[in-house]
A and B are shown apart, each in its own frame.
Chain A
Amino acid sequence: MPVISFEHVTKVYPLPAGDVVALDGVDLAIEKGEFVLIMGPSGSGKSTLLNIMGSLDVPTSGEVTIAGKKISRMSDDELTLLRRDHIGFVFQQFNLIPLLSVVENVEYPLILKGGQNGSRERAKEVLRAVEIAETHFTHKPSELSGGQQQRVAIARALVNDPDFLLCDEPTGNLDSKTGTAIMSLLDRMNREEGKTIVMVTHDPRMTEYADRTIRLVDGRVVE
């Protein structure tokens, strides 16, 4: 059974100037352990697709199944718990919580699940796995470089052992050398840990890491 499946998914943004069709009858399935790229021109609906995969948004029509659950009739709370327990997000802008230290940022999803016992140790373990130096654990995110912040964000996405990672241009804010390092980290997570990864990117060089690429144009999947 696929980890994520879309059946005739449409997303329409009603605007005063006329409806914007961001996704137009998308069918797709992501299998466990896959590393899938989503590519396409700006405005083609990549982020919209990823947000729906991440249960941050719901389709206008069609059905989405995430981790075996249909999301169309889920309440806001159910969608939130789905994100918490099954999905790891990595954003272009890192999106760490400025108020919390590096290790607290990674620990936060565990706190949400109510697990206080050993959560700090688990956070440290994942931080070591993404190669963050021990000395940086107590720093604030703003004191880290972009590459380091993205590693912390990946650690936070991984800490709950999610069913899949969703990455929206994770290297978009990084120079190419740092970007490559992040890519090889994600690649390692995919190959060694068997993590399912769906990643939006503009960079054609990324295709070498991926099992396959889904191309979007005007909200439609093209081959």
Chain B
Amino acid sequence: MTFFDIARRNVTRHWLRSTLAVVGIVIGVIAIASLGIMGNSIGLMFENMVSDVGDTVIVSPATGVGGGKLTERQVSDIARAVGSNDVIPFSSTADKISVGDKESAAMIYAIPAGDIPSLLEVESGSYPKDTGGGCLIGSQLAANSRENGLKLGARVRIGGETLRVVGVLKERGMGFDINPDYAIVVPYAWYSSHYDEDDYDQAIVKVRDVNNIDAVKESIEQKMNRREDTVAVMDTRGILESVFAATESITIFLAGIGAISLLVAGVSILNVMLMSVTERTKEIGILRSIGTRRSEVMRMFIYEALLLGLAGAVIGGALSFGTGYVVTALFAGNADYLFHPTSLLYIAFGMGFGVFTSIASGLYPAWKAAQLNPIQALRHE
């Protein structure tokens, strides 16, 4: 028999009241864990969707200057500024396409044929040439339009001219530069003659060494924007960082809402423990009169709070796997995120916070019990 035993017996003696207190902690732990997991899964989903590894600098025309296009001259200036790094200029448009008698619309990216391989990977087939009327289709477009006949080798009409699909692209995911998964990629030469255009929408600079990103940006700025801002220079790493910072703060916000529900549970533990102290005033008087020290009385009550907290944390932690599964499946569309280490960390955090809240709520009642005057406590009925 120890103080812990006595605490355990007290908790089980009033099992209904203890159960209610534990339920509060359970709900709090589940709230923290599932909301944390939810935010985290949304972040992970984003991370998975975004293909960029942060090695890209995107150069766009400064708004309002030169009709919002990059000229051939500007592109070669940029190429000179970035040295040996690849510069891939492109344009994009949306247009009607038709395969056989089936008509639809698609995003069309135009990239100089020679630059395509340094930006995009082909899953099947080959890369198109500047001449010869070949084009590439994105992986999702290919997957979605197979019944329509849009597949490798098919003929697709874009604005009255027929191109042949010579390759299907590998899935690329969401990017900050281009999103070719649902699009058609054509050689810029064909686009230029077909749409009668010589300028580009944007230019992508692939930086070989990510450590040089800032230097590359700087040298583009130096070259292009010396007199007035003709281009805007962004790097995807910076964009990525701010996106991830945003998802992180969403997660913290959600977990914070969970923490509030745990605070409510803490108040209920405080209440249960204060009730327990009042009820057991006489018993505390007995314990004190036969030589139990204040610190020992305090320990007994803190153990009770600890037991309630542990029970709540363990049950809540176990149930969090269930609710975590539901929220990840619901909000991130992929329940695998539940088993990601950071998701599991939120369960552990919820459990830890549950135990902490219980003990913190038990401190005042325990202190109150320890401060009781033994004689007055003995007289209490």
Contacts of B285 in A (CB 8 A): 95
Interface SS of B by simple majority: helix
Contacts of B375 in A (CB 8 A): 51, 56-57
Q: Is B2 an interface residue (CB 8 A)?
A: yes
Q: Is B289 an interface residue (CB 8 A)?
A: yes
Our pick among A57, A81, A100 for the contact of B293 (Cβ within 8 Å) is: A81
Q: Is B288 an interface residue (CB 8 A)?
A: yes
CB atoms of A80 and B291 under 8 A apart: yes
Give the one of A91, A100, A112 with max B CB within 10 A: A112
Could you tell me the distance in whole angstroms from the C-beta of B176 to the nearest C-beta in chain A?
66
Counting contact residues on chain B (CB < 8 A from A), the size range is: 20 to 34
CB atoms of B291 and A109 under 8 A apart: yes
CB atoms of B378 and A95 under 8 A apart: yes
* Beyond known contacts A95-B378, A104-B1: 13 more, CB 8 A cutoff: A57-B375, A80-B291, A80-B292, A80-B293, A81-B293, A84-B292, A89-B290, A95-B285, A98-B283, A99-B9, A99-B283, A111-B1, A112-B291
Could you tell me the distance in whole angstroms from the C-beta of B59 to the nearest C-beta in chain A?
75
CB atoms of B289 and A77 under 8 A apart: no
Q: Is A107 an interface residue (CB 8 A)?
A: yes
CB atoms of B288 and A99 under 8 A apart: no
Q: Tally A-B pairs: CB < 8 A.
A: 57
| Also in contact, A108 and B290, with CB within 8 A (given A56-B375, A57-B375, A91-B378) | yes
* A89 to B, closest residue via Cβ: B289
CB atoms of B6 and A99 under 8 A apart: yes
Could you tell me the distance in whole angstroms from the C-beta of B122 to the nearest C-beta in chain A?
76
Q: Is B294 an interface residue (CB 8 A)?
A: yes
Could you tell me the distance in whole angstroms from the C-beta of A165 to the nearest C-beta in chain B?
12
The complex places the Cα of A91 from the Cα of B10 at a distance, in Å, of 24
CB atoms of A84 and B374 under 8 A apart: no
Q: Is A136 an interface residue (CB 8 A)?
A: no
Q: Is B52 an interface residue (CB 8 A)?
A: no
Q: Which of A84-115 contact B (CB under 8 A)?
A: 84-85, 89, 91, 95-100, 104, 107-109, 111-112
The complex places the Cα of A96 from the Cα of B1 at a distance, in Å, of 16
The complex places the Cα of A111 from the Cα of B9 at a distance, in Å, of 17
The complex places the Cα of A109 from the Cα of B289 at a distance, in Å, of 11
Contacts of A161 in B (CB 8 A): none
Could you tell me the distance in whole angstroms from the C-beta of B279 to the nearest C-beta in chain A?
11
Contacts of B283 in A (CB 8 A): 97-99
Contacts of A54 in B (CB 8 A): 289
Our pick among A77, A97, A109 for the contact of B294 (Cβ within 8 Å) is: A77
Q: Is B13 an interface residue (CB 8 A)?
A: yes
Q: Is A215 an interface residue (CB 8 A)?
A: no
Q: Please name the 10 residue pairs, one residue from A and one from B, whose CB atoms are nearest each other, closest first.
A: A84-B291, A83-B291, A95-B286, A80-B293, A99-B9, A56-B374, A112-B291, A104-B1, A56-B375, A89-B289
The complex places the Cα of A28 from the Cα of B80 at a distance, in Å, of 108
Contacts of B295 in A (CB 8 A): 77
Contacts of A95 in B (CB 8 A): 282, 285-286, 289, 378
| Also in contact, A80 and B288, with CB within 8 A (given A51-B375, A91-B378) | yes
Our pick among A83, A96, A99 for the contact of B289 (Cβ within 8 Å) is: A83
Our pick among A56, A91, A107 for the contact of B1 (Cβ within 8 Å) is: A107
The complex places the Cα of A109 from the Cα of B288 at a distance, in Å, of 11
The complex places the Cα of A95 from the Cα of B2 at a distance, in Å, of 20
Contact with A along B344-381 (1 / 0, CB 8 A): 00000000000000000000000000000011001000
Could you tell me the distance in whole angstroms from the C-beta of A181 to the nearest C-beta in chain B?
23
Our pick among B10, B294, B378 for the contact of A99 (Cβ within 8 Å) is: B10
Contacts of A81 in B (CB 8 A): 291, 293
Q: Is A156 an interface residue (CB 8 A)?
A: yes
Cross-chain pairs A/B with CB under 8 angstroms, 18 sampled: A54-B289, A56-B289, A56-B374, A76-B294, A77-B294, A77-B295, A80-B288, A80-B291, A84-B292, A96-B286, A98-B283, A99-B9, A100-B6, A107-B1, A108-B290, A111-B1, A112-B291, A112-B292
* B10 to A, closest residue via Cβ: A99
The complex places the Cα of A179 from the Cα of B372 at a distance, in Å, of 32
Q: Is B296 an interface residue (CB 8 A)?
A: yes
Q: Which of B208-264 contact A (CB under 8 A)?
A: none
Could you tell me the distance in whole angstroms from the C-beta of B285 to the nearest C-beta in chain A?
8
